[in-house]
Structure 1
Amino acid sequence: MFDWQDLRYFHELARAGSLSKAATELSVEHATVGRRIASLEATLGLKLVHRLPRSIRLTEDGLVVAELAATISESAQAIESFALRAKSALSGVVRISVPPTVGNFCVAQYMQTFHEAHPSLKIVMANTPDIAALDRGIADIAIRMVKPEEPSLLTRRIGMIRFGLYASRAYASRPAAQWSFIAYDASLNHVKHQTWLRRFVDGRPIVFETSDVIAQQMAARNGVGVAVLPTLLGERDAELVRLDVEAGPPEAALWLVTYPDLRRARAIKAVMAFLVDCIDREPLLKSA
């Protein structure tokens, strides 16, 4: 395989028409150009240049190689231009998985700011309370409410989500013994505040189960029962009141998660910084 630099020198020689002019364009000694051309001829096994006293003339083979070299030179310049654009502007797609409350009422709220800063970088967001499997390509970055156990993951605690018991104003006037409850379905029994609720019920009925926290909020507003909701939802809903209980639902830390190799990508870094900033802007999600 020939040296690409040899080909670049030959391309410049063919364009300039003499060793001295090519050397000037390349900012080297004309002897250097001569050595490069000789090296290319030796590698290809072809005579490319007739050396005349004051100029050069390409051989028949040299004319063909020069034409091909021009195409390669254009491609190289296109690659350089692409690299410059890629360095100056982030682009591509980054997939994130976040808890629904964080996604709907925090991340989405600031998405326009991110888009204005990075117009060529698209975020695809999955709102799910489940633990996204990053190793299956479901997401590049995740915010989890459970501390990751996988040793290969890069993790960082970025905030705290808090919960309370909420009901409609009319429902809240009932004695606690008459409360019915709204809960997550069994697929989310591992979540700390769900485990707490199952104990707190203490024999009272759970009348509605759903994995959708917004559906829980709507059901509570309409008097279906009492729900454990993130304070980010409950405190901002004028139709709900927070019920006073002696020991309320537990808090859950928010963990930012990705793989170390992905973390090195500029697009991943930008989205991770954006997610941290989203949490920092929201007082109800900040760590104590």
Structure 2
Amino acid sequence: MKDIDWDDLRHFLFTARLGTASGAAQELGTSVSTVTRRITTLEKALGSQLFERSRRGYEPTEAGLRLLAYADRMEQDLRAAEDEIRTGDAEPKGVLRVACTESVAYDVLIPRLTAFHERYPRLRLELRASPATLSLGRGEADCAIRLSRPKEGDFVASRIGRMAFAYYTRAVAANQRGSVTPIVGWDRRLRTVASAQLLHPAVDSEEAPFTIDTGMGHLAAARHGAGPCLIACITGDRTDGLVRWPDTQVVGRYPVWFVVRTGLARLRRVRAFRAFVVDAFREEQAALEGADPSVSESR
């Protein structure tokens, strides 16, 4: 058997994660022909077919899945070694891809980006705010701040706080008598998202007249009178013109987890970012947990 070329393995790794040779080529800054050639070379070296090729893309075979697990760990170890050797005792630097919910991005992290840059000027954050759960295992992000703890996989997860949700509507609508049934639901693909599972049964069924696939979309719907909509309290309480429905009731509070692949947890940039996030969550604890805004304002 021929020795495996790490560059061939990298091309395999990105193709397996992204599902297409074109996606891998774009991520690696090369051509599709180079990607396919390197995968073919790797398959010949190993004597095994690594992908089932179709019009839909590249699907790893059983051999491909086994190799993917080893290749992923190799990449993590190499990144950790590079971080230790190149930086020594220097400040954290490099790129860190962070997946998080929209409310965490807009109301916790983005207001502190300037402070983060001043503290770590050589560390670049790539925030990927989405209600969908990006896959750390497929390399879509390096770490994540999410409302659910991974049930499987090689991850380190630590609880950093809680996030509360409540129904919000326009102040004018809240003063109207009678009950109001939410008319805005989540896109079917996102109904596994923790916050989406809290929705009123009428919204979570096929009867909802409207579906929106982002938290900011639900916020806009509430502001324009299509509420009540389920929104993170830290976002809803800070949005002019919105009030909780009914009264100040919190529908639910969820643990928030900082999740990172085990092999990346040792990286200086990961440790620095986690410490920064923990401090931010501590500062925003009351707002994140849905403290009554009227009580906060009266103090």
- TM-score under structure 1 normalisation? 0.64
Q: Deviations over 1:240-288 (max 9, x none)?
A: 1111279752221101001222111111111111122221111222699
Q: Deviations over 1:149-168 (max 9, x none)?
A: 12421000111110111111
Match of 2:246 in 1: 244
User: Could you tell me which amino acid in structure 2 is paired with residue 285 of structure 1?
Assistant: L
1:166-205 residue pairs with structure 2 within 5 A? 166-199=168-201
Q: Is the CA contact 1:163–1:231 (under 8 Å) kept in the aligned structure 2?
A: yes
Given that 2:234 and 2:290 are in contact with CA atoms closer than 8 Å, whether structure 1 keeps it comes out as no
Q: Is the CA contact (8 Å cut-off) linking 2:100 and 2:127 kept in structure 1?
A: yes
* 3-state SS of paired residue (2:200): helix
Letter in 2 for 1:186: R
1:270 aligned counterpart, secondary structure: helix
Deviations 1:213-250 (A, max 9, x none): 12211221111231011111111123011112797522
Alpha-carbon contact 2:168-2:229 (below 8 Å) kept:
yes
Question: For residues 184 and 201 of structure 1, do their structure 2 counterparts lie closer, same or farther at Cα, with a shift above 3 Å needed?
Answer: closer
CA contact (8 A) 1:155 1:255 kept: yes
- Name the SS of the counterpart of 1:134 in structure 2: coil
User: Judging changes above 3 Å, is the alpha-carbon distance between structure 1 residues 192 and 157 closer, same or farther for their aligned structure 2 residues?
Assistant: same
How far 1:202 sits from its partner (Å)? 9.5
SS of the aligned residue for 2:199 comes to helix
Task: Report if aligned partners of 1:193, 1:249 keep a CA contact under 8 Å in 2.
Answer: no
Match of 1:119 among 100, 118, 121: 121
5 Å-filtered alignment, 1:44-193, equals 86-193=88-195
Aligned-partner SS, 1:96: strand
Q: Which runs of 5+ in 1 are unaligned?
A: 1-82
Cα distance in 1 between the residues matched to 2:192 and 2:205: 20
Of 275, 284, 288, 1:285 maps to 288
Q: Hey, which of these two has a bigger chunk of helix by percent? A: 1
The C-alpha deviation readout for 1:52-111, integer Å capped at 9, x for no partner, is xxxxxxxxxxxxxxxxxxxxxxxxxxxxxxx68653232210111000100111011111
Give ranges in structure 2 of 5+ residues lacking alignment: 1-84, 292-299
- When the two chains are superposed, the root-mean-square deviation of aligned CA atoms in Å is 2.8
* Structure 1 residue 203, shift from structure 2 partner: 8.7
- Letter of the structure 2 residue corresponding to residue 185 of structure 1: D
2: CA distance between counterparts of 1:214 and 1:84? 40
| Cα gap change, 1:286 to 1:269, in 2 (>3 Å) | farther
TM-score using structure 2 length: 0.62
Aligned-pair CA distance for 1:200: 6.2
CA spacing shift, 1:201–1:261, aligned 2, 3 Å: closer
Matching residue's letter, 1:260: T
Indicate if the aligned counterparts of 1:93 and 1:123 stay in contact, CA closer than 8 A: yes
Contact 1:141–1:256 (8 Å) recurs in 2: yes
Any conservation in 2 of the 1:192–1:250 contact (CA below 8 Å)? no
